[in-house]
A and B are shown apart, each in its own frame.
Chain A
Amino acid sequence: MTEGFAELRLDGVSRSFGGHEALADLTLTIRRGEFIALLGPSGCGKSTALNCLAGLLPLTRGGIWLDDRRLDTLPPERRGFGMVFQNYALFPHMSVRGNVAFGLQMRHLSRAEVRRRTDEAIRLVRLEEHAAKLPGQLSGGQQQRVAIARAVVLEPSLVLMDEPLSNLDAKLRLEMRTEIRRLHQSLGLTTVYVTHDQEEALSLADRLVLLRDGRTQQVGTPEELHGRPANWHVADFMGYRNLLRLRAATVTGAEAGVEGDGLRLTGTPVGVIQPGDPVVAAVRPEDVRIAEGAGVPATVEVVEYHGREVAVEARTAEGVRLYLRDAAATRPAPGDKVQFTVDPARLLVFPAST
């Protein structure tokens, strides 16, 4: 329907429900073939954004453009998008084949064409033996494959995925993640993928959009969001588990000294910080190191075994709780006295106000 477009443009897309803004001013340009992940905690507006894009929810402000064709005034069935739903939403009264063929039949394609493309899509998701079964007879992973086949069989200009892996168990989730990646690479379909799992988003997407309270916090590549969060909310969501509320002492170009609660650390400022400002210093557990001799003293409280590594929760004398990782071989135990250090390049210092 929309072969060969160049870009999809979201221009100030907003949706409010009786005064409450669930999504505010989402502006984003998606290039053809790109894999975009909308990321954020539950209630952040990511599903609202997806439904607005799909046309299942009318906008209350803004517009959606495919090159210079306006899409947001069209009903969902005329936008030519495909969608994979969280609980799959397979038609329970139709076989796998019927589900996949449905969209093609809606386009009044010839019987032979419908058959050919349906078979192809079923082969793509490796469900040939199950083509005649009803959705109720399939496992969760198989249902998921049907849902994906149904969405991609139309070769849509955009595929929308609404937390498609959240109902699967851990092992299957990893498998399907690879499967989605493989499909995206082989078909080159432009994809918008909604998830609350940062690991999933980082591993799948070309670019990520992080939302919080309906507002865009940061748009960027996985590397950018992982290594350079724009504010401490983003850092919090991206796995910076240690968020220390401190005060800036010294700021010298690329380094900021922060202190408070008996701690005195050096980090990298992100944004404008003046000495004396309240700040949030963020660091990932894996960037906190246990060091012999030097560093901040703390007492080990909880140790979780994670295979090669252990996750350690420790507490300083002033009661600051810290999360860190250590090699399992060192076998720290609750009650142990340890000392830790933080690499200044890995400790990000954000203004506390944002």
Chain B
Amino acid sequence: MRPRRSIVARPAAWLVWGLVAFFFVNLAGVIGSVVVSSFGTRWFDTWLPEGWTADWYSAAWDEFDLLHVLLVTVEVSALVVGISVLIGVPAAYVLARRSFLGRRVLYLLFLLPILMPPITYGIPLATVLYKYGFAGHLSGVVLANLVPSVPFVILTMTPFIEQIDPAIERAARMCGARTRHVFLRILAPLLVPGILAASILVLVRTVGMFELTFLTAGPDSQTLVVALYYSMSAAGIRAQQSVDAMAVIYTSMMLVLVVVALRFVNPTQLVARVKEDVD
């Protein structure tokens, strides 16, 4: 009875797809201009640069000490992901499974660091971290980045855990499994997809997190975004194109991460997990 729905049907549909196309064309322009510029020699008031070169990449690599910056980025993200999963998943488990006095207050408390602009708590946080000697080092950057990451893990894992039938854990207990075994043998395998999804989302957020890292990093603990920002705001000294090259490196890295992420997370099921119509 139901005809197969075609995506292009009526003028309204054409308008919508036109808008999408317009967005993509401009997006392509924005990205393309940076990529072209990063490979160009001299480019001034013409359609395309005068010649092509890959020198800007090696220049950026040496000039900005990119190897070190990349290592710091990897180190910070790995620590943030690991710690936030370790702290966040057990808390998400309790929030998903139990109702107790103060649950809503606690939930709100976990929601706030995600809702507030990073600058608002970042500045006092940086002040406190400087007071106790954490800021300016890797540890300060990690601590600051954990503030939105732990709640993020909790908020993404809670609905995930809620959709696992609690009777399964009860069944394991009735089979004589201790808490440790229930977690290791039953919950862990069922939670792996959710934990992977949450980790990758945290990873993407951490690599892209500018404000908190910017406020707490010292010269040796800058991640790639912050290094990029400094290189661009001090652009007078450096060639535009080497900044472009660095931005392209950053974006390729993020793109790899996001493509990997999309293998594990279906973006349309972030909120609700409803089976799509098969027919």
Q: Chain A: residues with CB nearer than 8 A to chain B?
A: 54-56, 75-78, 80-83, 85-87, 89-93, 102-103, 106-107, 147, 150-151, 154, 160
Q: Which 8 pairs between the two chains have the least Cβ-Cβ distance? A: A103-B175, A89-B167, A89-B171, A83-B174, A106-B176, A76-B173, A85-B167, A93-B189
Partner of A85, one of B170, B181, B189: B170
Residues of A with C-beta under 8 A to B186: 91
Q: Which residue of A lies closest to B176 (CB)?
A: A106
Could you tell me the distance in whole angstroms from the C-beta of A81 to the nearest C-beta in chain B?
A: 6
Interface string of B172-184 (1 = CB under 8 A from A): 1111111001000
Given A87-B165, A89-B167, decide whether A102 and B173 contact each other with a Cβ distance below 8 A: no
Which residue in chain B gives the minimum CB-CB distance to A80?
A: B176
Alpha-carbon separation in the docked complex, A91 to B188 (Å): 12
Whether, in the assembled complex, B185 has its beta carbon less than 8 Å from a beta carbon of chain A, the answer is yes
User: Would you call B190 an interface residue if the criterion is a C-beta within 8 Å of the partner chain's C-beta atoms?
Assistant: yes
Choose one: B165, B174, B181; the contact of A151 (CB below 8 Å). B174
Hey, which chain B residues are within 8 Å of A83, CB to CB?
A: 170-171, 174
Known: A89-B165, A91-B186, A106-B181. A56 touches B173 (CB 8 A): yes
Residue contact B165 to A77, C-beta cutoff 8 Å:
no
B149, chain A: closest CB distance, angstroms: 28
- Cβ-based interface call for B168 (8 A): yes
> Is there contact, CB below 8 Å, between A150 and B165?
no
Given the known A-B contacts A89-B167, A91-B168, are A54 and B175 also in contact in the complex, defined by CB atoms under 8 Å? no
A77 CA to B165 CA, complexed, in Å: 18
Contact assessment for B176 and A107 in the assembled complex, using a CB-CB cutoff below 8 Å: yes
- Whether A106 lies near B174 (C-beta < 8 A) is no
Is B170 in contact with A77, judged by CB distance below 8 angstroms? Answer: no
B interface residues, tally (CB under 8 Å): 17
Report chain A residues within 8 Å CB of B172. 91, 102
Contact at B167–A87, with CB atoms within 8 Å? yes
| Docked CA distance A160–B174 (Å) | 10
Known: A82-B175, A92-B190. 18 other contacts (CB 8 A): A56-B173, A76-B170, A77-B174, A78-B176, A81-B174, A89-B165, A89-B167, A89-B168, A89-B171, A92-B168, A93-B189, A102-B175, A102-B177, A103-B176, A106-B175, A106-B176, A154-B175, A160-B174
Measured in the bound complex, the distance between the Cα atoms of B178 and A107 in whole Å is 10
A residues in contact with B173, CB < 8 Å: 55-56, 75-77
Alpha-carbon distance A89/B168, docked complex (angstroms): 5
Q: Can you give 7 A-B contacts (C-beta < 8 A)? A: A54-B170, A55-B173, A81-B174, A82-B175, A90-B168, A107-B176, A147-B171
Please give me the residue from chain A that is nearest to B189 by CB atom: A93
List B residues 83-108 near A (Cβ within 8 Å): none
Cβ–Cβ < 8 Å partners of B168 in chain A = 89-92
For A102, the chain B residues whose CB sits under 8 A away are 172, 175, 177, 185
Cβ A150 vs Cβ B175 within 8 A: yes
Bound complex: CA A76 to CA B173 (Å): 6
Q: Is the CB of A154 within 8 A of B190?
A: no
CA distance A102 to B178 in the complex (A): 12
Shortest B189–chain A CB gap in Å is 5
Q: Bound state CA distance, A125 and B274, in angstroms? A: 34
Q: In the bound complex, how far is the Cα of B234 from the Cα of A254, in angstroms? A: 106
Cα-based distance from A103 to B177 in the complex (angstroms): 7
Closest-CB distance, B190 to chain A (whole angstroms): 6
Within 8 Å by CB of A91, from B171, B174, B176, B178, lies B171
A56 x B177 contact (CB < 8 A): no
A55 to chain B minimum Cβ distance, whole angstroms, is 8
Give the complex CA separation of A75 and B178 in angstroms. 9
Q: Which of A78, A103, A106, A151 has the most CB of B within 10 A?
A: A106
Inter-chain contacts of B171 with A (CB < 8 A): 83, 85, 89-91, 147, 150
- Cα distance, A102 to B173, chains bound together (Å): 11
